Amino acid sequence: MLDVCLLGTGGMMPLPYRFLTSLAVRYNGSTILIDCGEGTQIALRKKGWSPKPIDYICFTHFHADHISGLPGMLLNMGNAEKTDPVYLIGPKGLTQVVNSLRIIAPELPFPVYCMEIEGHDQEFTLGDLTIRAFRVHHNVVCYGYSLTLKRQGKFDIAAAEALGLEKRYWNRLQKGETIELDGKTYTPDMVLGPARQGLHLTYTTDTRPTQSIIDNASEADLFICEGMYGETDAKEKAKEHKHMTFQEAALLAKKANAKELWLTHYSPSLVKAEEFMPGVRSIFPNAHAGKDGKSRTLKFTEETD
Amino acid sequence: MLDVCLLGTGGMMPLPYRFLTSLAVRYNGSTILIDCGEGTQIALRKKGWSPKPIDYICFTHFHADHISGLPGMLLNMGNAEKTDPVYLIGPKGLTQVVNSLRIIAPELPFPVYCMEIEGHDQEFTLGDLTIRAFRVHHNVVCYGYSLTLKRQGKFDIAAAEALGLEKRYWNRLQKGETIELDGKTYTPDMVLGPARQGLHLTYTTDTRPTQSIIDNASEADLFICEGMYGETDAKEKAKEHKHMTFQEAALLAKKANAKELWLTHYSPSLVKAEEFMPGVRSIFPNAHAGKDGKSRTLKFTEETD
């Protein structure tokens, strides 16, 4: 399962009632953060999640509202006695930006590794979880991220019995281990059914609508997408600033056949996102205006058979 | 007069209920900021003060909690259409730190000038206002700041009449202009009494008690001083981390014969500053626990004669 929290929903600048857009995802004891603007550490604390297990921070791009909170967050992780490494993922130039910002956070009790994204798409694998960066279209190089959690097939008792393998080895096989025994090799695929449906979360901000978003958010359980402007007549402004309207985000969700859409990254001038939602839902019914702290636990679908 | 607002009162890290310590002072259309940690721009907006008139930002030192909000604040000032320069004042190395942090705020519609403090004390004059930086004692180079506003003497009507100068020149003389007329030179001191008591504000954080603080806060109308720890038995911890207890701050206020003391820069673990105040007031009666947004307008004393 993936524990998801939209820590903030603002664009450009943090406001007294709205933190900057950032997503935290908890999986298997690790926290993955996407973007870290000024105040994200406050939003995380408000949610009650510790900074210590943050093992990955993915950056969409280097505009200040998406990375200005990094030095404070790193220091905060240090104060929480983190000692294991943190991996930062972002566009080319990440190392230089991070090193430059770390002039005020030079000493940390854990190593910081920067991984710069090569090309238009790149995948980073963390066990069963894959973080996939995909290029979107902003006025600087910018990436969206998909997090997908694989789910293996059901354990096939009949197949295991047919192998003649003692029961005490079953659990190791199910957990992915290959067993060598009496000159024979037993592999997990021998006792597992076809892979079942996993979990799929897609997050993108600071972009015009792109085919890459539709492709990457295809069938997503949750699609979190920027909506800088609520007004239907703001499309020209959105084009100029390389952002999206709520309606454009809804159309992407529809084309991607996502299961649910959360909007985020509102313009500072946008006060009540909710008032634009009826129009948005006429395009994509399961659309929701993101709010700071909006959370969801994404779980595997229960098997019915 | 000086409009003073303690924007935040926290040390180390911003909290959901406490911004990082920063002071804003409005004088004659300009705003002077002392320190700018992560979230200071939110605190300023919460107070309802615009970032546009910020003309000076003074930094006590370069620990992240005192400067991490700089890139966001500069961008915010730019969004507010500031075009006139901002002057940054701070310890040696300021230019390098600012340039490094500006990797995420490279383009601004106004010039940024860095002024590095030379030696143990330095004064910066802005018309009638003097900003005086004075060295304090932290684990890195750190300065306190005194803001003093001069007040000229009363206009002496009898003296002006005795000069035989036409009344229409009086106002210009009173405002500090020298008048050349019919071969004679009239200077302001000819019509002004002795300088009257001005205003004096002293601000210091991140330091052990020092003689320089007592000297610079001498007779201050308002003395804003760090108090990292409220507990009377925290002195050893305060010594170790080069901070102060509330009681040590109160003793400084007493020795300086300041008129009023506000405490600030609380440890994240300190929740209720108020509960320590009875003990603090037994040392210095006019002591107050600072709170985010605590404000005061310092005015010239009314003349009684």
B162 and B112 in a single domain? The answer is no
pLDDT score of A127: 85
B217 and B186 in a single domain? The answer is no
B305 pLDDT higher than 60: no
**By the CB < 8 Å criterion, does A253 face chain B?**
no
Dihedral sign for Cα A183, A189, A192, A193, please. negative
Residue A215 is among the residues annotated as catalytic for this protein: no
For the residues B264-291, what does the mean pLDDT come to? 97
Q: Are B92 and B117 in contact (CB under 8 A)?
A: yes
Structural domain ending residue among the three candidates B194, B226, B251: B194
Closest partner residue to A67 (CB to CB) among B67, B96, B104 is B104
Q: Which chain B residue is nearest to residue A104, measuring alpha carbons?
A: B64
B60 and B96 in a single domain? The answer is yes
**By the CB < 8 Å criterion, does A96 face chain B?**
yes
**By the CB < 8 Å criterion, does A69 face chain B?**
yes
**By the CB < 8 Å criterion, does A76 face chain B?**
yes
Residue A119: inside a domain: yes
Residue A86: inside a domain: yes
**Between A117 and B304, where is the model more confident?**
A117
d(CA A62, CA B63): 23
For the residues B111-134, what does the mean pLDDT come to? 95
B261 and B116 in a single domain? The answer is yes
Residue A18: inside a domain: yes
B108 and B206 in a single domain? The answer is yes
Among residues 105-164 of chain B, which lie with CB inside 8 Å of chain A?
105
Residue A176: inside a domain: no
B102 pLDDT higher than 50: yes
- Write the CATH number for A216: 3.60.15.10
Closest partner residue to A39 (CB to CB) among B39, B46, B100 is B39
Number of domains in chain B: 2
Q: Which is the catalytic residue, given A35, A65, A221, A292?
A: A65
Q: Crossing angle for the helix pair A94-101 and A70-79, nearest 10 degrees? A: 70
d(CA A266, CA A21): 8
Q: Which amino acid is at B197?
A: Q
Structural domain ending residue among the three candidates B194, B224, B256: B194
Compute the C-alpha angle B163/B167/B169, nearest 5°: 85
Closest partner residue to A97 (CB to CB) among B12, B69, B103 is B103
Under DSSP, the state recorded for A169 is G
Q: Are A31 and A55 in contact (CB under 8 A)?
A: yes
Residues of chain B positioned with their CB less than 8 A from the CB of A71: 64, 68
**By the CB < 8 Å criterion, does A14 face chain B?**
yes
Residues of B carrying an active site annotation: 65
Q: Which domain covers residue B186, as residue numbers?
A: 153-194
B224 and B134 in a single domain? The answer is yes
d(CA B77, CA B107): 12
B86 and B170 in a single domain? The answer is no
Closest partner residue to A105 (CB to CB) among B46, B64, B96 is B64
B132 and B118 in a single domain? The answer is yes
Q: Are A230 and A246 in contact (CB under 8 A)?
A: yes
Tens-place pLDDT, residues B126-171: 888 999 999 999 999 999 999 999 888 889 989 988 988 888 999 9
pLDDT score of B11: 97
**Between B263 and A196, where is the model more confident?**
B263
Q: Do B45 and A101 touch (CB under 8 A)?
A: no
Residue A276: inside a domain: yes
Of B67, B78, B137, the C-alpha closest to B111 is B78
Tens-place pLDDT, residues B55-75: 999 999 999 999 999 999 999
Residue B114: inside a domain: yes
For the residues B268-281, what does the mean pLDDT come to? 97
B227 and B123 in a single domain? The answer is yes
**By the CB < 8 Å criterion, does B213 face chain A?**
no
Interface test mutation site (partner B, options A22, A38, A46, A114, max chain B beta carbons within 10 A):
A38
d(CA A26, nearest CA chain B) in Å: 21
pLDDT score of A300: 92
pLDDT score of A163: 86
Number of H helices, E strands in chain A: 10, 16
d(CA A59, CA A80): 22
ipTM of the complex: 0.92
Residue A69: inside a domain: yes
Q: Are A208 and A243 in contact (CB under 8 A)?
A: yes
Q: Do B72 and A64 touch (CB under 8 A)?
A: yes
Residues of chain A positioned with their CB less than 8 A from the CB of B75: 13, 64
Q: Do A15 and B45 touch (CB under 8 A)?
A: yes
B162 and B29 in a single domain? The answer is no
B6 and B119 in a single domain? The answer is yes
Residues of chain A positioned with their CB less than 8 A from the CB of B12: 79
Residue B70: inside a domain: yes
d(CA B159, nearest CA chain A) in Å: 55
Closest partner residue to B15 (CB to CB) among A15, A42, A71 is A42
| pLDDT > 90 in chain B, percent | 84
B144 and B157 in a single domain? The answer is no
Per-residue confidence of chain A (305 residues) as pLDDT tens digits? 999 999 999 999 999 999 999 999 999 999 999 999 999 999 999 999 999 999 999 999 999 999 999 999 999 999 999 999 999 999 999 999 999 999 999 999 999 999 999 999 999 998 889 999 999 999 999 999 999 999 888 889 899 889 888 889 999 988 889 999 888 899 999 999 888 889 999 999 999 999 999 999 999 999 999 999 999 899 999 999 999 999 999 999 999 999 999 999 999 999 999 999 999 999 999 999 999 999 999 999 865 44
d(CA A96, nearest CA chain B) in Å: 9
Q: Which amino acid is at B300?
A: F
